[in-house]
């Protein structure tokens, strides 16, 4: 039975769907081992206790600086360690970013995500990024960024600029991590997430499935995500996109049913998080995507590209939504009078940085 929408936030404690941070691997493995129908039924119960089960949050992702990343992530076409024929690009001009944000809002997105291929942002780059956040928020969108590792001061600056979400994925289990990345540690990633949370921003963190990991690694990844307190507000579950030139280009495909199981277990373990059906949708047929939504996925990236890999066209997404009876999650993104007044009061201070930002934009380097 569907829980009435007005009870979405009243039922979880009574029904035992509260947040937990103490999931054991045995418990998680037991969820994965459930008969498929039972697992999806349980996920739907949790899902409907917290969300409108027919609403999907829509984000758009833009690469604001592409290629030549010093990290050696084996799945990534932007790594400078591999020859993927990807043309590197310097940091985008602020005006072009804002133009893309306006187009995203017109297409139905409520959140605008910006990604840069850095190990960590430099000070002069961060000044430009802060201005991007301010101007994209003025368009009336939630903002999200992924810029690599950030320390406490950098996270605080991004929060002060108004950044809503920071994305930093754990990628895989602690045990399998060294098979995928050697240039930054698992603890580095956890430290960045801690800095983001301490700065007052929301956390977007998930992982990539189908990188040759075992089933136990998928359980351990979800365990690590659920240990975060509070849970990440957004949990992207990616299916590996195999890019020629990367070390994982010939890895064996993950069974789509195993991917759907991971979506369902993530929904059960992190009941109040948005679980995002992320990279890999281009390779999924409509039936697989429909099962993902049934399993509790309630967020997608919208548009024709995810940083440097393909994504279903917006028209295809709209057609699928119509076929399934889904609709974009509606959120209030316009400024209130109080927020507008506060923003206007800060404009004088922001103008102090404007000249410096303009100078940096001229020589923003790769």
Where are the chain's structural domains? Answer: 25-334, 336-365
Q: How many CB atoms lie within 10 A of CB 13?
A: 11
Backbone angles phi, psi at 52, to 5 degrees: -70, 115
Q: Is 204 a catalytic residue?
A: yes
Can you give the pLDDT of all 366 residues of the chain as single tens digits?
Answer: 344 444 333 344 444 467 899 999 999 999 999 999 999 999 999 999 999 999 999 888 888 876 567 787 788 877 655 555 455 556 788 888 999 899 888 888 889 998 887 878 888 889 889 999 999 999 999 999 999 899 999 999 999 999 999 999 999 999 999 999 998 899 999 999 999 999 999 999 999 999 999 999 999 999 999 999 999 999 999 999 888 888 888 899 999 999 999 999 999 999 999 999 988 888 889 999 999 999 999 999 875 544 444 445 677 888 999 999 999 887 654 444 444 444 444 544 554 455 555 555 555 555
334 catalytic? Reply is no
Is 73 an active-site residue?
yes
Q: Which positions make up the binding site? A: 69, 73, 76, 113, 144, 204, 276
Catalytic residue among 48, 189, 204, 218: 204
Catalytic residue among 48, 111, 144, 189: 144
Tell me which CATH code domain 25-334 carries.
Answer: 3.20.20.70
- Helix or strand holding residue 106 (H, E): helix 94-106
Of 48, 111, 113, 267, the catalytic one is: 113
* Closest alpha carbon to 79 in 6, 181, 149: 181
Task: Please classify residue 26 by burial: count the beta carbons closer than 10 Å to its beta carbon, then call 0-12 exposed, 13-18 middle and 19+ buried.
Answer: exposed
Return the residue matching tokens 């999806």.
40
Cβ proximity of 217 and 172 under 8 Å = yes
Identify the sign of the CA torsion 146, 157, 357, 163.
Answer: positive
Check the CA dihedral 13-18-22-27 and report its sign: positive
Question: How many CA atoms are closer than 13 Å to the CA of 346, on its beta-carbon side?
Answer: 15
**Which residues define the annotated binding site for [2Fe-2S] cluster?**
113, 144, 204, 276
Sign for the pseudo-dihedral over CA of 233, 239, 242, 247: positive
């Amino acid at each position: 039975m569907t829980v009435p929408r007005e009870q979405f936030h009243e039922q979880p404690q009574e029904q035992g769907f509260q947040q937990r941070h103490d999931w054991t691997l045995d418990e998680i493995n037991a969820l994965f081992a459930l008969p498929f129908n039972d697992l999806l039924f349980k996920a739907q119960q949790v899902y409907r206790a917290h969300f409108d089960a027919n609403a999907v949050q829509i984000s758009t992702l833009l690469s604001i600086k592409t290629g030549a990343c010093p990290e050696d992530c084996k799945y990534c076409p932007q790594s400078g360690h591999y020859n993927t024929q990807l043309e590197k690009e310097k940091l985008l001009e602020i005006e072009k970013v804002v133009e893309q944000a306006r187009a995203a809002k017109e297409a139905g997105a409520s959140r605008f995500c910006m990604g840069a291929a850095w190990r960590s942002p430099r000070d002069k780059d961060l000044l430009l990024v802060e201005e991007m956040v301010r101007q994209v928020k003025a368009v009336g969108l939630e903002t999200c960024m992924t810029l690599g590792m950030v320390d406490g001061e950098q996270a605080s600056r991004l929060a002060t600029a108004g950044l809503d979400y920071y994305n930093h994925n754990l990628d895989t289990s602690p045990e399998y991590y060294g098979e995928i990345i050697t240039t930054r540690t698992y603890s580095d990633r956890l430290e960045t997430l801690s800095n983001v949370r301490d700065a007052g921003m929301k956390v977007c963190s998930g992982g990539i499935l189908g990188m040759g990991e075992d089933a136990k690694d998928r359980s351990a990844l979800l365990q690590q995500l659920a240990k975060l307190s509070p849970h990440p507000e957004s949990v992207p579950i990616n299916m590996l996109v195999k890019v020629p030139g990367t070390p994982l280009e010939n890895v064996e495909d993950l069974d789509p049913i195993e991917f759907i199981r991971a979506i369902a277990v993530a929904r059960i373990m992190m009941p109040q998080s948005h679980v995002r059906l992320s990279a890999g949708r281009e390779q999924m047929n409509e039936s697989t995507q429909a099962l993902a939504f049934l399993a509790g996925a309630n967020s997608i990236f919208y548009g024709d590209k995810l940083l440097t890999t393909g994504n279903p066209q917006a028209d295809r997404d709209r057609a699928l939504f119509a076929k399934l009876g889904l609709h974009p999650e509606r959120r209030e993104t316009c400024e209130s009078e109080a927020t507008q007044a506060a923003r206007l009061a800060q404009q004088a201070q922001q103008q102090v940085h404007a000249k410096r930002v303009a100078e940096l934009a001229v020589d923003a380097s790769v």
